[in-house]
């Protein structure tokens, strides 16, 4: 790995070197390295780019890193990663994509991640996207996440795109069985001429299934964001979606929450709020000695932590 790649890896995964334990590292469109562990097997797909990850039933407190780095300009790839999480597991999967584009051609990574989470398993999925480079070429990322939660499975998905991604369409689709619970937290910041689109669609098919989607975003300068969240309550279930956006400069944000109840015991809530930083928040921090710019930064940092 060169310095640029190492920096990308640090930004998206907090790693300085190739991770320990089970991992798969993809650099510039090719598998750079992978390692299976006793309980976690990583197999390269034969028919298309990507990997299959098998986590043995009962695996506890283990994690898998699957970072993707792109540092050549003009590279476009579509990768399929399928995760099979066995029954009663309690594991963490850390994914992320960093693009450094120093050239004038667009670089694009599209990843389709499918999660098949078995009965009573607990999964934490962390995904971080980051872009850097001074080239005119765009840094484009289009992640698609497909989630199937079996009975009483629990998944927490933390996704963040804080800097440098010019164009993104983020699609997440989930299907939940009886007693399954999905928690999604999204943090997004766009600036310059960037565009970000997020679409969540969750089918609450199981009795006592539940989903909680919280998206916090900041749109600066001339950037544009679209947030679409759709929850279908097809059984006795709980669904909550919340979009909270700070808008600045000439940005534009659109939030489209949709909830649909197909069962009398489906309890669904949506909330969406868009607004600029409250003047009184800035004033309060200024009375503590911060400049207006520092106050603004502090408020945004807190909001996106």
Partner 1 sequence: MLKLENITYKVEDKTILDNISLEIDERFVAITGPNGSGKSTLAKIIAGIIPATYGKIYLDGEDITALSITERANKGISFAFQQPVRFKGITVMDLISLASGKKLSVTEACAYLSEVGLCARDYINREVDASLSGGELKRIEIAMINARGTKLSVFDEPEAGIDLWSFNNLIKVFEKMYDKNKGSILIISHQERILNIADKILVLKAGKIDKIGTKDEIMPSLLGVETGCRFVKEG
What is the full DSSP assignment across 122-175? EEEEEEEEEEE---SS-EEEEEEEEEEE-TT-EEEEEEEEEE---EEEEEEEEE
Please list every residue from 199 through 258 that binds partner 1, using CB under 8 A: 216, 244
Closest approach of partner 1 to the CB of residue 188, in Å: 14
Between 256 and 273, CB nearer to partner 1: 273
Full strand arrangement of the beta sheet holding 167-176: 40-44, 50-55, 76-85, 107-117, 139-149, 167-176, 195-204, 224-233, 252-261
Output the smallest distance, CB 167 to partner 1, in A.
26
Q: Angle CA(164)–CA(72)–CA(66) in degrees, nearest 5?
A: 70
| 78-86, 90-98, 153-161, 294-302 -> range binding partner 1 (CB under 8 A) | 294-302
Question: Please, what is the minimum distance in Å from the beta carbon of residue 283 to partner 1?
Answer: 6
Q: Which stretch binds partner 1 (CB under 8 A): 27-35, 59-67, 141-149, 296-304?
A: 296-304
Radius of gyration for the chain, computed over Cα atoms and rounded to the nearest angstrom = 20
Token pair for 179: 């007693």
Q: Which is nearer to partner 1, 237 or 285 (CB)?
A: 285
**Three-class DSSP category at 118:** coil
Please list every residue from 17 through 36 that binds partner 1, using CB under 8 A.
none
Residues 260-289 binding partner 1 (CB under 8 A) are 278, 280-281, 283-289
**Based on CB atoms, which residue is closest to partner 1, 252 or 301?**
301
Q: How far is the CB of 196 from partner 1 (least distance, A)?
A: 19
The reply to whether 304 sits near partner 1 by the rule CB under 8 A is yes
Are the beta carbons of 220 and 190 closer than 8 angstroms? yes
Separation of alpha carbons 206 and 170, rounded Å: 25
- Residues in contact with 292: Cβ distance below 8 Å, sequence separation at least 6, in sequence order: 282, 286
Q: Which position among 17, 46, 134, 305 is part of the footprint of partner 1 (CB under 8 A)? A: 305
Closest separation in Å from C-beta 163 to partner 1: 17
Round to whole Å and give the CA distance between 213 and 190.
20
| Binding residue for partner 1, selected from 51, 68, 150, 299, defined by CB under 8 A | 299
Q: What is the DSSP letter of 14?
A: -
Sites of contact with partner 1 (CB under 8 A): 216, 244, 278, 280-281, 283-292, 298-299, 301-305
């Amino acid at each position: 790995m060169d310095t640029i790649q190492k920096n990308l890896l640090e930004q998206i995964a907090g790693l300085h070197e190739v991770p320990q334990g089970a991992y798969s590292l993809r650099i510039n469109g090719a598998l750079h390295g992978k390692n299976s562990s006793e309980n976690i097997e990583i197999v390269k797909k034969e028919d298309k780019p990507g990997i299959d990850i098998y986590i043995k039933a009962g695996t506890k407190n283990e994690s898998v890193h699957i970072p993707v780095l792109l540092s050549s300009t003009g590279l476009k790839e579509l990768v399929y990663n399928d995760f099979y999480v066995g029954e009663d597991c309690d594991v963490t999967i850390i994914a992320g994509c960093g693009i450094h584009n120093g050239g004038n051609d667009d670089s694009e990574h599209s990843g389709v991640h499918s999660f098949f989470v078995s009965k009573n398993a607990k999964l934490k999925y962390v995904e971080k996207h980051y872009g850097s480079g001074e080239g005119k070429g765009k840094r484009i990322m289009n992640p698609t996440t497909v989630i199937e939660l079996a009975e009483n499975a629990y998944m927490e998905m933390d996704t963040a795109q804080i800097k440098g991604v010019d164009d993104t369409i983020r699609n997440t689709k989930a299907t939940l069985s009886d007693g399954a619970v999905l928690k999604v937290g999204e943090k997004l910041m766009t600036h310059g001429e960037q565009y970000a689109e997020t679409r969540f669609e969750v089918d609450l098919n199981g009795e006592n299934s539940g989903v909680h989607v919280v998206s916090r975003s900041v749109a600066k300068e001339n950037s544009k964001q679209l947030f679409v969240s759709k929850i279908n309550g097809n059984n006795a279930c709980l669904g909550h979606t919340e979009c909270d956006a700070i808008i600045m400069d000439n940005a534009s944000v659109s939030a489209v929450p949709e909830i649909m109840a197909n069962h009398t015991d489906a309890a669904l809530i949506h909330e969406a709020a868009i607004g600029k930083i409250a003047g009184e928040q800035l004033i309060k921090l200024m009375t503590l000695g911060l400049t207006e710019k520092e106050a603004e930064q502090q408020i945004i940092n807190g909001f996106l932590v």
